[in-house]
Structure 1
């Protein structure tokens, strides 16, 4: 075997990128080349046509929607592959079959088997080209799906769509979660341009579903569907589930023919994701053998899947006394959704721990959290050197415009200690932090990420 450790494997996956003197930056259409991944897929002789694929993109909620789709398909009797990004603790979380992450030994073995294909492509790169790490992970996932007999696969896009590696896999179904202005340096600085990038996941002659979107976004998605002769459906507000109340670790809702259901995810925004997943899975299951779509057995399977889904780190309750909830809500839309969803659970004093990267609108995010907080603790992370945070002086000066009781701590454990001192046993600690800090929280609370 060529690779025997995770360190060596990940170093290899990033090797062509890391050896570049200057990594190309700019709009995806100018710097990303998914055709490299397409050639590797062809040479690796992977199963691109023999199973059903759904590809999911959006600006928020796409990971949750992917997890929901996978769990629903599993309850309908399918063997389900899932590819998501980013991971919270280990790279193996990104590749799953029936919710279980790929074992390390299989990850290393498959990468070793695929390395001749990767090496050949690496030898042909131009000076300003590199092999996408996500493209290599896609190859590993598809080979593992082949070995495990996967008949339905759920693929989450990275940030865009049209130039993302997963679009090299043909799908019969595309799903769109809410699309907002994000990653402007890569996708463009208008909503229409960002929607154009996202719409690139629609395949010729396929189906596409979207949650409610702005008119500008819907127009772009519809145009792309028309060009691709695809059928496009958008859910309206009346298609959304009716919220019925909270449960200890989730919420109750009423959803059409499925009646009153339990959804084992916190976050009011998850209702929208659940509605999209149910619609998409219904479309996908219709092309697969199994439980008749119109049967009570089908209804029961969907209800069971909604109650069984697990997606750690997304509005995740970590403990009681004090109540601690974590979410990667570091842009204005996700922060507002997090705060609105947590409203009924909050007990004062409310102390917010924030770790917002400097390339986000951290000023606006601070302001939103300050409106619901009695105190605030700002922190950062060095786990991922590519993600930078405001320095202490900048963070404190910015936050003090909105809240007087604010502190800065260098690490998450130190920030939590300060938050506990303020919240006591009866208060609430909200963690609105970037992905590396969410992962660190999973480690601190020993959350099992192996099975979802």
Structure 2
């Protein structure tokens, strides 16, 4: 089977939808010889900042000399982005081989995400990595990544998202995210809403799991363009994270705290590794600047919490006229995503990624107009990017946002690459 045929087989599993639970992944991994029990892991759950935090920690540990697996989702352009070792994406030949192996062992109606999780764990086991950073796809308690036994669990900011699966309140969603906590193992937690924090504290206390909370046990503060960190074991000043946005202080500090705590399990990252790791982290599609003419920024803010963070980050571009290209998924709280962003836009172009879940561009335009903003129905993501660049002046900023799928399609267009859009 060719790589393209393999991708079609994998992506075809999306028809089984999302089915939270650990029964199928447990059965599948058992038939593969339980590769997840042969590797040490860190789990990362939350609503926003999961990927950035995981990328920061992976870069820190890689810089410290360890062989680090990183499993994230969704991908922006290529399936191989999901499974990496020290920044290198899984080779296509291994995708073909592992797909055949995992599919042959899979129980009936195993989901896309379960298959891909099993592929990642099998690959990491084969490659004899030192540690794997596993980003939960959705939730935590019943997410297939929760089959692992993490040395440290990280919970990033929680907000309302995937409510049809996780619950309609922050407390309910926090209960799902807190499912990654292990008895007696340390937990790193970003600042949270009071209701979410109460749940996390309850779970940590029940398992006697040491809880380290941002702003309490550790903190990071911007000093001009540099970040100063005070942690559980020491402090590091004058850090320069590679990822844009003042909000990255929270993500970087959670990664730094986790790195400190991992020393108890034999993974030592000194101040030099932390400094260099943060400064060389790559995480595309999140406040990612393209040096086009005019400048263009990609950010995958896809829920109300993410759009609020993006709106705050736009303050870093004072005086810039912002031309916005936006595309969202139909199952999202579109009005809540739009509300923080539209006041910053001088012009808006509405688009629809090439995905069944995408809200049609005309429907999105109607939602924008209901908020009181005029806009243009641009059609496809590529057409929207082209229209925005043509409408922008040399000193303006084109912002592509609203969904990671929108950002992925835009990034592929800008790089002249094909884009593999799939849910999960």
Question: Fold-level match, TM-score > 0.5?
Answer: yes
Q: TM-score, normalised by structure 1?
A: 0.86
Task: State the TM-score, normalized to the length of structure 2.
Answer: 0.91
Aligned equivalent of 1:95: 83
Contact conserved, 2:361 with 2:378, CA < 8 A, in 1? Answer: no
RMSD over aligned Cα atoms? 2.2
Distance change in 2, residues 1:7/1:438 (3 Å): farther
Matched, 1:445 2:414: yes
Does residue 117 (structure 1) correspond to residue 95 (structure 2)? The answer is no
Aligned to 1:249: none
What's the counterpart of residue 154 of structure 2?
175
Q: C-alpha distance in 2, partners of 1:196/1:52?
A: 24
Residue of structure 1 aligned with 2:392, choices 395, 419, 423: 423
Secondary structure at 2:62's aligned position in 1? helix
The answer for the alignment partner of 1:374 in structure 2 is 346
Residues 1:371 and 1:138: Cα distance change in structure 2 (over 3 Å): same
The residue aligned with 1:43 is: 31
Q: Which residue of 2 aligns with 1:333?
A: 305
Are residues 1:72 and 2:60 paired?
Answer: yes
Q: How does 1:45-444 map to 2 (within 5 A)?
A: 45-118=33-106, 121-122=107-108, 130-236=109-215, 239-246=218-225, 252-256=226-230, 257-288=235-266, 291=268, 298-382=270-354, 384-385=355-356, 387-392=357-362, 394-444=363-413
The alpha-carbon deviation at position 132 of structure 1 amounts to: 2.2
Structure-1 separation of matches of 2:393 and 2:126:
51
| 2:39/2:125 contact within 8 Å kept | no
| Count of matched residue positions in the alignment of Structure 1 and Structure 2 | 414
8 Å contact kept, 1:347–1:426:
no
Does structure 2 conserve the Cα–Cα contact (< 8 Å) formed by 1:330 and 1:365? yes
The secondary structure found in structure 1 opposite 2:391 is: helix
Task: Say if 2:48 and 2:158, in contact at 8 Å, map to a contact too.
Answer: yes
Q: Structure 1 residues 432 and 13, CA, compared in 2 at 3 Å: closer, same or farther? A: closer
**How far apart, in 2, do the equivalents of 1:329 and 1:131 lie?**
29
Moved more, 337-346 or 214-223: 337-346
The separation in 1 between residues aligned to 2:289 and 2:57, in whole angstroms, is: 22
Structure 1 unpaired stretches of 5+: 26-30, 123-129, 247-251
CA 415–42 in structure 1, closer or farther in 2 if over 3 Å, else same: same
Question: Higher mean Cα deviation, 140-149 or 310-319?
Answer: 140-149
Distance 1:364 1:223, change over 3 A: closer
